[in-house]
Structure 1
Amino acid sequence: MRSEYRIPGFGLKPLIGVVHLPPLPGSIIGYSGIDRVIEYSVAEAKKLEEAGFDAVILENYSDNPYSVRVNDLVLSSITVIAREVIRETGLKVGISLLRNAGLQGLAAAYAAGAHFVRINAYCEVRVSGEGLLMPISHELEKLRQRLDRHVAVFADVDVKHSSPLGERPLSDVVHDCVSRGRMDAIIVTSRATSEAPSPGYVAAIRQLAKTKPIIIGSGITAENIKAYWNLADGFIVGTYIKHGGSTKMPIDPQRAAKLASVVRELRITAKIAN
């Protein structure tokens, strides 16, 4: 099965790196100061740009334990951070606010001039350690309609670190998300951070999603990306590109460059084949 559904504005199979932000102002575990967080975030994003990545997601990963809605300090901080990353790099910039603060994420992305948001529960109810994640597609799209520029929505289905409420078949969930939702792309993950979904699982969702672009959101490495290249339309990578493959560590420029090099080769091969 071959996937060639482009995400408007993102080119051929974009490579999206994750900057797992340090604790933000407002975090219950404390923080190092907003200027230091901005400096760190910009430096990490520049590593991705120099390696050859197309985009970056800024995520409040260190603000655990997470809540369904973030506080005002976290919201204002990630808005400023995103703005600075946009000013200092040429990357497409996205925002992910854990656990499912998608409306706040969209507001921050718009104000900062960012390009996209990631939504964990767009069209399905999920049971998570943070509680029930309720679908926000209606409220999100109503808000997005009021904006004077497009902010793309990348929506998870069967998102990691959660389980469905009830026994509704995933095929029904994906069908309804695609036919009734307005997301720009669907994100497919495994059960947890750093775990790759099986190629068969991705292929099944690819078939159900029809022409909606598919992004793989966990477990991609320089060693396995070839197995997913013809199944997906984009890749979000966080764990692999860190020193030692640990989300708690900064980005390793060599790992990031290695992955980006593989992607460049695959793109060249795809162009030759076409």
Structure 2
Amino acid sequence: MRRFLKIFGQQKCKVIGMIHVDALPGTPRYAGHWKETIEKAIYEANLYKRHQLDAVLIENMHDIPYVPERLLGAEITACMTRLGQAVRDVIPKEIPCGVQVLACGNKQALAIAKASQLQFIRSEGFVFGHVADEGYTDACAGDLLRYRKLIDAEDVLIFTDLKKKHSSHAITSDVSLLETAHAAEFFLTDGIVITGTATGHAASPQDLQELSGRVKVPLLIGSGVTKDNIGLYYKDANAVIVGSHFKRHGSWLEEISEEAVENFMRKVCELRQPS
């Protein structure tokens, strides 16, 4: 928790705005507009800055269909590094920025964070194997933390998904969410991410309450947070990651809606007022 508070500060329930960057070169949906991809990421970063979000996270969400980490090309790491630097350049230094590389590009994310001076990554598959839609995902904590040490990136926080969305967890059905959280904590996670079953699907408030006060690391909500349900998470979550709700019609595929960002942050400001 100390590492989290050093970067994010003491205020309850930080809001992390997601930037779903356009499909990158080499992926099926890449449209050939690399310069516009950078400009769009900068635009969204400035929008989040204008509405005083607490942190920003970039992700290659549009690179569908995803491939396992071993098949990620060097172009993805290079392009995400360029985008990370572009976002970092417009966001004040005191505001944390992070990166996630799908699917399970956790080492790549660490390298990007190191090169672009980002403060955190979101990692998949940290503890316990599972079957995702891009294939089998093996646990990576030991390898990933050794790599963080190797590249001198220990100041980069690693937030880890548990029982990851878009995945089957039948092979670990006898391992509870709390047991999984304790395993991630034992393996030195810097924060636990709780999600629903798919992008944009709300995480269970009961899952949050099950872990609250029973682990010592920060708890983050990683999907389905909206203006209407933020109150369910606000008390117990150290941070919420918001992406789909900030888009038109609440769909991650759509363009960002400044009105949605403004309305959400107005609700958060109301929750932050002393009762």
Give TM-score scaled by structure 2 length. 0.91
1:81 to 71, 83, 90: 83
Q: Which residue of 2 aligns with 1:8?
A: 6
Percentage of pairs with the same residue: 28
**For the Cα contact (< 8 Å) 1:7–1:185, is it kept in 2?**
no
**For the Cα contact (< 8 Å) 2:225–2:245, is it kept in 1?**
yes
Give the secondary-structure state (helix, strand or coil) at the position aligned to 1:231: coil
Mapped to 2, the partners of 1:220 and 1:148 lie a distance apart of 30
Deviation of residue 149 (structure 1)? 5.5
Give the secondary-structure state (helix, strand or coil) at the position aligned to 2:26: coil
1:176 to 173, 183, 192: 183
Superposition pairs for residues 95-106 of structure 1, below 5 Å? Answer: 95-106=99-110
Q: Which residue of 1 aligns with 2:238?
A: 233
Report the AA paired with residue 111 of structure 1: A
Q: Does 1:116 align with 2:114?
A: no
**For the Cα contact (< 8 Å) 1:22–1:60, is it kept in 2?**
yes
Q: Which residue of 2 aligns with 1:154?
A: 159
1:153-182 CA distances to partner (integer Å, 9 max, x unpaired)? 110001111122243322322221112x22
Give the secondary-structure state (helix, strand or coil) at the position aligned to 1:46: helix
**For the Cα contact (< 8 Å) 2:114–2:153, is it kept in 1?**
no
Give the secondary-structure state (helix, strand or coil) at the position aligned to 1:194: coil
Mapped to 2, the partners of 1:35 and 1:63 lie a distance apart of 17
Q: Which residue of 1 aligns with 2:221?
A: 216
Mapped to 1, the partners of 2:256 and 2:210 lie a distance apart of 32
Check 1:193–1:76 CA distance in 2 against 1; reply closer, same or farther (3 A cut). same
**For the Cα contact (< 8 Å) 1:222–1:262, is it kept in 2?**
yes
Q: Does 1:58 align with 2:81?
A: no
Q: Which residue of 2 aligns with 1:45?
A: 45
Gaps of 5+ in 1: none
Q: Which residue of 2 aligns with 1:188?
A: 194
Which moved further from structure 2: 217-226 or 26-35?
Answer: 26-35
Check 1:236–1:33 CA distance in 2 against 1; reply closer, same or farther (3 A cut). same
Q: Does 1:145 align with 2:149?
A: yes
Report the AA paired with residue 90 of structure 2: E
Deviation of residue 131 (structure 1)? 0.5
Deviation of residue 207 (structure 1)? 4.3
Give the secondary-structure state (helix, strand or coil) at the position aligned to 1:95: strand
Superposition pairs for residues 21-40 of structure 1, below 5 Å? Answer: 21-40=21-40
Mapped to 2, the partners of 1:68 and 1:264 lie a distance apart of 39
Give the secondary-structure state (helix, strand or coil) at the position aligned to 1:186: strand
Check 1:135–1:26 CA distance in 2 against 1; reply closer, same or farther (3 A cut). same
Check 1:101–1:6 CA distance in 2 against 1; reply closer, same or farther (3 A cut). closer
Mapped to 2, the partners of 1:211 and 1:38 lie a distance apart of 38
Deviation of residue 198 (structure 1)? 2.0
1:125-170 CA distances to partner (integer Å, 9 max, x unpaired)? 1111100111111111112223155111110001111122243322
Report the AA paired with residue 231 of structure 2: K
Give the secondary-structure state (helix, strand or coil) at the position aligned to 2:164: coil
Give the secondary-structure state (helix, strand or coil) at the position aligned to 1:8: helix
Give the secondary-structure state (helix, strand or coil) at the position aligned to 1:155: strand
Deviation of residue 7 (structure 1)? 3.8
Deviation of residue 206 (structure 1)? 2.3
Report the AA paired with residue 178 of structure 1: E
Mapped to 2, the partners of 1:267 and 1:49 lie a distance apart of 18
Count matched residues: 266
Deviation of residue 72 (structure 1)? 0.8
Report the AA paired with residue 222 of structure 1: K
**For the Cα contact (< 8 Å) 1:18–1:237, is it kept in 2?**
yes
Give TM-score scaled by structure 1 length. 0.91
Q: Which residue of 2 aligns with 1:18?
A: 18
- CA root-mean-square deviation: 1.9
